[in-house]
Structure 1
């Protein structure tokens, strides 16, 4: 492929500048549950303490980067999120390089633009967690893998090894992506061996890359290995008693991933899913000659991740597939390009194809921009707003209690509210007379964990709890509902006088 021209690079700089602006806007919005947990339980610790034990909430490489950022700039939300934002921008760059190499400059530019405007890419770039870092290392690792399989050389596979180690040290699920690549490598080697065309570098150098990357990752985790093994072994136990059983259903995961991107669109969700799948298949067809291993690698990672998470009984969060968004975007854009080519040939030729392609790009960009604006409608989870509201409303002698796992996060803002997790604790807390504010984060989970609370707010009458026109409940009245872009991210405040 020809080298990128100065014009190509200028377009990339413009796209990255747009992406940076969209990610800096509202970067200082209030932190949500997982971000606060990461800050309080890891980033605030000393360097030695921070690396003494393993936690599912601890994305190690991101936590190290966040600690450096906080040390330099303080604990403002934007500083805690800065590493995620930078990795998000780096992921767009890596996706551009990958797309240009396998699909050409035009598709690379469009892919990068759509990622810059992507709701999910912006959301995770403003999320103080390691998912954008995981996406960066995975995307760059796939680029090195494809290069190394096409023209094996030691430098490429050593860079691949560093990507593998970086992904796995960011999050354990990073191993799934590189296991998928390992399976693709073995399948290619087996096919070539069967044809009698297997060359030694296709065996030796990839093996070196996988082995080196795995060893580096193992050494990085060595200080917390006992804690890691204990935590991972207990995952299925905690999932088994989780009342939110839908979280372990891959169909729910697919619907939730689409729903968060387009909003509560009802019947449009499966339609969008079908359209995305169709375009991905068309994209795979269009790239089968230039990059025959690309689409199979992406598909195998999605399948393998789903199978492994189901096998260990773990919750199948949509975020475990975030690394695939940029890769799927390449397939979608390639699929749109192929669709335009087919329709152009049917309708009359190359000019029609070009016109359809321009219209398709403009429509994709407009739709992405329209969906992206939802990132700015609310914080991810407005715990800060709920805390400020309750404290402003409370009079001397009034009490406040917090329900569910998000309840402990209010201590970050200085609250001394008791945290209630069970029905028995809730009944005891409300037994005392007087005015009490009841605050629920992750309300859908709280409704199941504390049935008495659900009954006290009149949840069973079929109306929206936050609808200002609904009949007042007999026990608890809605004081305020704080919206959030996080799934189940609303924070509800009720009052009993």
Structure 2
């Protein structure tokens, strides 16, 4: 008999009558197999919430960073990740080839993340079935689909949806290897670990709870050394394969995430609404997850809570005592499958009507957060439901509409930013939303990010020379903030160069930005 995480009722035991809350499930056996697959409905539900209003949220500066990279030739992307952002390099290369086929519209940019989250929902359901039963797996997948975070980051052109998918797939493959520890199954598990590492190294902290799962299975059959040996071999193989990324990312960490503040003790529980995407839905999901302790599979319950709590605790310790902080909610989304499996197991213990009612309550509680996170400027709410107060969301799309409405052929542009503000991506964001027939030369453009093997460009070192002897008749000064004094958004030398030759015709503001028309004197 293959090792399991906990004992289960003997299938040979026959009861004269099924419990009433299980009778409805027997009818499912008369439904065609594809329709009653535990993974199908969670996948479809996640696709629905992921595709709903997928183009409505304005691209924000993290997605614009993705756009600035994936437009480059593959060789230039490799050159860049040797200097910066190696942790996202695999995703950049994938999306580079993706947009070469499907284009770079918001739908095309975000669709891979939608599909990845849908895959994660299916894997969550399969993990729940293996750890508990089919009903728990189905409910777990549906809970996962309802989480506001799943929709929010399923609609973002970044790697986080892929990270969740890789983590959920690794859990399923681990459970399969524990059932029958063959070399092929351990190899598949190692491949999932390697994918997780190359998508986001921080996610590999889930190896700690996986080790607990291996220990639980081995404890039931301590003569089976293939379990710990296979796990250790798979981990070593994955770490060895990911070593080049480990080496690069270690050198780049201070630059990339040095701005993240160190957590305090209270953040150990304050971060959960940010991970799940709302306060009310977090309380509901964690409450039903606690009910899972009543399951007859204590080993699976223990593994589930380890999948949820150990990674967050480990990152808190590493962030409070290490040189940089990793305590960011979007770095911990790989715990979502574990949370969902526990919630599914808890809801599966009650009568079928109560299970359906519990799912309905979770869906209703998640609905207000879903509405917020599908909004126009929702992608700037990166720690929702905690408000972001240190900047106003930048509405690049609205700014582009103002420019397009007043555009004349021959107009140029200047983007109000200094050398340390280029990461806001004002230039690339506005250009992304401009119609194709609106062509604006950036009068202060220096080296491009591609030329520098970096994320962002530079500004010209000589602003007066950049304007030339015959400057353009009109310049659109588009800036982050700057409604009161648009010239103040530029470094003094650049502002002076414009003021000497141009006067302000008018200025309009949108969220986080100003759009000013300058006319030559």
**Which residue number in structure 2 is paired with residue 388 of structure 1?**
401
Match of 1:39 among 61, 64, 67: 67
Distance 2:75 2:139 in 1: 44
Q: Secondary structure at the match of 1:115?
A: helix
State the shift of 1:60 in Å. 2.8
Which of 132, 135, 138 pairs up with 1:109? 138
TM-score normalized with structure 1 length: 0.69
What residue in structure 1 maps to residue 324 of structure 2?
313
Query: In structure 1, what is the equivalent of residue 336 of structure 2?
Result: 325
Q: Please give the alpha-carbon distance, in whole angstroms, between the structure 2 residues aligned to 1:299 and 1:413.
A: 41
Alignment of 1:407 onto 2:424:
yes
Kept after mapping to 2: 8 A contact 1:18/1:116: yes
In structure 2, distance between residues paired with 1:412 and 1:15: 34
Contact 2:196 2:204 in 1 (8 A): yes
Residue 164 (structure 1) shift:
0.5
Report the secondary structure of 2:193's partner residue.
helix
Distance in 2 (CA, whole Å) between partners of 1:18 and 1:115 is 9
Could you list the per-position Cα deviations for residues 353-404 of structure 1 after superposition, in whole angstroms to 9, with x for gaps in the alignment?
A: 4443332222223333453233332142532223433665799999762474
1:146 paired to 2:175: yes
Match of 1:203 in 2: 228
Distance change in 2, residues 1:37/1:409 (3 Å): farther
Shift of 1:95: 0.7
Of the three residues 150, 158, 161, the one matched with 2:190 is: 161
Instruction: Give the Cα separation in 1 of the matches to 2:513 and 2:276.
Output: 23
- Which segment is superposed worse, 395-404 or 136-145? 395-404
1:440 corresponds in structure 2 to 480
**Structure-1 residue corresponding to 2:356:** 358
If each structure's helix is expressed as a fraction of its own residues, which one has the higher value?
1
- Equivalent residue for 1:428? none
For the 8 Å contact 2:138–2:344, the answer to whether it is kept is: no
**Deviations, residues 172-218 of structure 1 (Å, cap 9, x unaligned):** 11221224424654x559x94xx993532123222222122222323
2:306 paired with 1:283: no
Question: Aligned pair 1:83/2:112, yes or no?
Answer: yes
- Per the alignment, do residues 397 and 230 of structure 1 end up closer, same or farther by CA in structure 2, a change over 3 Å counting? closer
CA contact (8 A) 2:271 2:329 kept: yes
- Deviation of 1:70 (Å): 0.7
| Paired residue secondary structure (2:480) | strand
Q: Aligned partners of 2:156, 2:92: CA distance in 1, in Å?
A: 12
Given that 1:87 and 1:125 are in contact with CA atoms closer than 8 Å, whether structure 2 keeps it comes out as yes
Distance change (3 Å), C-alpha of 1:135 and 1:331: same
For the 8 Å contact 2:275–2:332, the answer to whether it is kept is no
Q: Which runs of 5+ in 2 are unaligned?
A: 1-7, 12-27, 381-394, 432-439, 446-474, 483-487, 490-505
Distance 1:104 1:86, change over 3 A: same
- Measure how far apart 1:255 and its partner are: 3.8
1:97 aligns with 2:106: no
Q: Mark the CA change 1:204 to 1:114 in structure 2 (over 3 Å): closer, same or farther.
A: closer
Q: Deviations 1:411-443 (Å, cap 9, x if unpaired)?
A: 353474879xxxxxxxxxxxxxxx9977438x9
Which aligned pairs between 1:420-431 and structure 2 lie closer than 5 A? none
| Structure-1 separation of matches of 2:143 and 2:303 | 23
Does the Cα contact within 8 Å between 1:66 and 1:79 map onto a contact in 2?
no
Give SS of 1:293's match: helix
Question: 1:378 corresponds to which residue?
Answer: 376
Go from structure 1 to structure 2 and tell me whether the alpha carbon gap of 1:410 and 1:79 turns closer, same or farther (over 3 Å shift): same
Tell me by how many angstroms 1:63 deviates: 1.8
Residues 237-282 of structure 1: CA distance to partner in whole angstroms, max 9, x if unpaired? x62xx4x74x64574585465258666xxxxx4x765554443333
Contact 2:166 2:193 (C-alpha < 8 Å) held by counterparts: yes
| 1:253–1:317 contact (8 Å) kept in structure 2 | no
How many angstroms apart in 2 are the aligned matches of 1:159 and 1:121?
Answer: 25
TM-score (ref. length: structure 2): 0.66
Q: 1:213 aligns with which of 218, 226, 238?
A: 238
Please tell me whether the aligned partners of residues 107 and 334 of structure 1 are also in contact (alpha carbons under 8 angstroms). Answer: yes
Could you say if the C-alpha distance between residues 492 and 44 of structure 1 is closer, same or farther in structure 2, counting changes exceeding 3 Å? closer
The within-5 A match list for 1:469-480 is: 480=509
Greater relative contact order, per chain length (Cα 8 Å cut-off, separation 6+): 2
Which residue matches 1:258? 273
Calculate the aligned-residue CA RMSD, in Å: 4.1
Q: Report the more deviating stretch, 402-411 or 201-210.
A: 402-411
- CA 1:254–1:71 in 2, change beyond 3 Å: closer, same or farther? farther
User: SS where residue 378 of structure 1 aligns?
Assistant: coil
Count of equivalent residues: 410
In the TM superposition, residue 334 of structure 1 has moved relative to its aligned partner by 2.5
Contact 1:23–1:122 (CA under 8 A) maintained in structure 2? yes
User: 26-35 or 406-415: which moved more?
Assistant: 406-415
- Bigger mean CA offset, 396-405 vs 27-36: 396-405
> Conserved in 2, the CA contact under 8 Å of 1:37 and 1:57?
no
1:294 equivalent among 304, 313, 324: 304
Q: Is the 8 A contact 1:27 1:126 kept in 2?
A: yes
Match of 1:20 among 47, 50, 68: 47
